[in-house]
Amino acid sequence: MSSGNAPHVPSLAVVFAGIHRGLIRLQRIPSLMLPAVLMPVFFVVAFSGSFASIVELEGYETDKAVNWMTAWAVMQGSAFSGMGAGGLAGTDLENGFFDRLRVAPTRPMALIGGLVGYCVCRALIPITAVLIVAFAFLGADMPGGALGIAMVYLSGIGMAVVMSFLVLGIVFTFKTLKSLAIAQIIMFSSMFLSVGQAPIQAIEGWLHHVAAINPITNVIRMCRQGFLGEVTWSITQPGLIALFGMMVGTGIWARIRYKKVDA
Amino acid sequence: MKNNVFPQVVKLSHRSILGMLRQPQSWAPGLFFPLLLAAVYSSQFSRAVTIEGFPFADVSFLDFVLPACVIQGVLFGSTNSASDLAADIENSFMDRLLVSPVSRGSILISRLASAFMYGVAQATILISIFAAFGANIAGGAPTIISIVVIAALLSVSMGSFGIAIALRTGSQEVVQSTFPLIFVAVFVSSAFFPVQLMEGWYGAIARKNPLTWVIDPTRRMTIHGFSWNDLGQSLGIILAIASVGVGLSIRQLRRRLVRAQ
């Protein structure tokens, strides 16, 4: 499909319109947010409770499981929020509205950007909810101070962007909402094969090697550092590089698969 | 025809099982996620067995999580047959069944049979994969058979609650929305970590969770070997849960039949 010779609408306006549309949908169907908020909140409660004694092992660098697990729950919440882009695009593809968007005089990346921006806004809700539960009810510490909190939001937002691009690529490929199940499996697997629940020193066997090269490991470390101590550049830098690399990779993937919608 | 109940049960059960097999998206996650968790946890928490107070000595974490993963897999898919029943109600197939001279009980029994077969298949596949990856099941065949039976009956007992909800609401969406409850029940139990090492209110809830009372004896059999006591405890809890679930299902079926007249 092509928009022909029609003048292009400024991309930024399209991105904001996309975000606005997503947020209106969220306002109309608030139940869409329930899994994205309840699941990570449950994760931080469940993992901090179940694995309360695990921090006795070497490498955890904290005496409270909640300090370790909050970052993991934040990452899960952000990733779940990223699924929202696929949910909205999948619905639009199934009911034909996406075809109308595609013939609009705008750039594909502006349409994709609107969906991703919507997910970034969505991600702020579970991140905040997890932090409130962790600090108010589970006694989490934040020796990293405000900078530590900033790292949590930065990592969470970054992960939401990465997962949005990834899921959009999958939905553009299969053109159905049902493909979200595939996206969920990929998302869960990539998150679990990292240092989400255990430090690299405690992980043995094949998973040790996989977690060591999984870029999500660096993002989780960046997110977690404020809970364990001061925020340092040596932990932040690899996290930022990993996020940037994954954003570029998944962004290209989403853009390439966008073309597949016509196929 | 109403007198010939058994062939009707067989036919309807066959239909239920075929329906489930044709929807891999409904049973595949129940295989994938327990295997993923087992693979990840046995690497991540392999040293957890050295923590002071860990109730099993000289055990691998893979052996420790085996029964929990089997039970988790079965529970995640336990609402499949209920969801299919709700689909029958939504697309009016149930109405056609009710105007036919089919035994009303066979409608319920066939769905429970499908849940049972699902439990048997899921548990057998999971145990085989675990064994292939080096899990050690003490007690051999008696323990393996016990785990399969426990899993299958647990699938029936939890599935019966889903069936009651399906009969009450006639909505697939409502049936599937019960999934988070199962998820919470599995995690707030001794499934992935011993309750002895849990603290505070979380540990207190986990200790009182009936799933813990099913998982713990099943785990003891896996690690120490077959025991009639442990089997009896697991089955006793499951049958108690099943009696409530099946009772509710029968009640909801009767209500639906009254409404249909």
- B50 within some domain: no
Which of B44, B180, B198 is facing A52, going by the closest CB pair?
B198
How far apart CA B51 and CA B57 sit, in angstroms, is: 10
Asked if B192 and A35 come within 8 Å (Cβ–Cβ), the reply is: no
Q: Which domain holds residue B135?
A: 5-44+60-260
Per the structure, the count of domains in chain B is 1
- Per residue in A202-252, pLDDT (tens digit) is 898 899 999 999 999 999 999 999 999 999 999 999 999 999 999 999 999
Closest CA of chain A from B7, distance in Å: 36
pLDDT at position A2, please? 46
B207 — pLDDT class (breaks 50, 70, 90): very high
- Which tens digit of pLDDT belongs to each residue from A136-194? 999 999 999 999 999 999 999 999 999 999 999 999 998 887 788 788 888 888 889 99
Residue A148 to residue B119: CA distance in whole angstroms: 46
Please choose, from the candidates B178, B176, B173, B200, the residue with its C-alpha nearest in 3D space to the C-alpha of residue B188.
B200
Within a domain: B51: no
**pLDDT on residue A209:** 94
Nearest CA in chain A to B177: A35
Residue at B49 is within a domain: no
Alpha-helical segments (H) within A96-179: 97-102, 108-136, 145-174
Of B47, B180, B198, nearest to A50 by CB-CB distance is: B198
CB contact under 8 A, B180 and A35: yes
Q: Read off the pLDDT of each residue in B155-167 and give the average, rounded to a whole number.
A: 92
Largest Cα–Cα separation, chain B = 64
DSSP chain B: -TT-HHHHHHHHHHHHHHHHHT-HHHHHHHHHHHHHHHHHHHHHSGGGGGSTT-S-SS--HHHHHHHHHHHHHHHHTTTHHHHHHHHHHHTTHHHHHHHTT--HHHHHHHHHHHHHHHHHHHHHHHHHHHHHTT---TTHHHHHHHHHHHHHHHHHHHHHHHHHHHHHH--HHHHHTTHHHHHHHHHTTTSSS-GGG--HHHHHHHHH-HHHHHHHHHHHHHHH---HHHHHHHHHHHHHHHHHHHHHHHHHHHHHHHHH-
Is the model's pLDDT at A259 over the cut of 80? yes
Which of A53, A56, A188, A203 is the best mutation test for B, with the most CBs of B within 10 A?
Answer: A53
What is the sign of the dihedral through the CA atoms of B214, B43, B24 and A175?
Answer: positive
Tell me how far CA of residue A262 lies from CA of A1, A102, A175, in angstroms: 7, 10, 10
A54 touches chain B (CB under 8 A): yes
Q: Which residues of B touch A (CB under 8 A)?
A: 25, 29, 32-33, 36-37, 39-40, 43-48, 50-53, 180, 183-184, 187-188, 192-193, 197-200, 202-203, 206
- Of residues A3 and B41, more confidence is placed in B41
**Residue A201, helix vs strand vs coil:** helix
Angstrom CA distances, A97 to A92, A100, A194, stand at: 5, 5, 38
Task: List the single residue in B180, B193, B202 with the smallest CB-CB distance to A38.
Answer: B180
List the structure tokens of B64: 């420790």
State the nearest Cα–Cα gap between B95 and chain A, in angstroms: 28
pLDDT in tens, B55-106: 888 889 999 999 999 998 888 878 888 888 888 898 888 888 888 888 888 8
CA distance A175 to chain B (A): 17
The verdict on residue B15 lying in a domain is yes
- B199 with A52: Cβ contact below 8 A: yes
Helix (H, G, I), strand (E, B) or coil at A62: coil
Contact of A208 with chain B, judged by CB distance below 8 Å, is answered with yes
pLDDT for residue A116: 95
Smallest Cβ–Cβ distance between A188 and the set B36, B44, B45 belongs to B36
DSSP state of A58: T
pLDDT at B217 over 80: yes
Chain A hits for B46, CB-CB cut-off 8 Å, are 204-205
Residue A263 has pLDDT above 70, yes or no: no
| Residues from chain A contacting residue B35 (CB–CB below 8 Å) | none
**Span B110-133, mean pLDDT?**
91
Model confidence at B2, in pLDDT bands (50, 70, 90)? low
Distance of CA A256 to the CA centre of its chain: 20
Test mutation, A50, A137, A216, chain B, max B CBs within 10 A: A50
Is residue B144 situated within a structural domain? yes
The partner residue sitting opposite B198, judged by closest CB among A49, A185, A198, is: A49
B48 closest CB neighbour out of A54, A178, A192 = A54
Distance CA B222, CA B147 (A): 8
Predicted pLDDT of residue B1: 47
Site from B32, B41, B42, B43 to mutate, A interface, most A CB atoms within 10 angstroms: B43
Q: Which residue of A has its CA nearest to B48?
A: A54
Question: Which letter does DSSP use for residue A42 in this model?
Answer: H
Q: Which of A39, A53, A192 is opposite residue B197, by nearest beta carbon?
A: A53
**A49–B197 CB contact, under 8 Å:** no
Count of other CB atoms within 10 angstroms of residue B50: 10
The residue among A3 and A219 whose pLDDT is bigger is A219
Give the residue from chain A lying closest to B37, CA to CA: A192
Q: Is residue B55 assigned to a domain?
A: no
A181 touches chain B (CB under 8 A): yes
Taking Cα atoms as reference points, which of A84, A63, A73, A77 lies closest to residue A43? A73
Give the pLDDT confidence score for residue A5 in this predicted structure.
59
Two tokens, residue A98 = 């996406």
Partner-chain residue, chosen from B44, B180, B187, that has the shortest CB–CB distance to A50 = B187
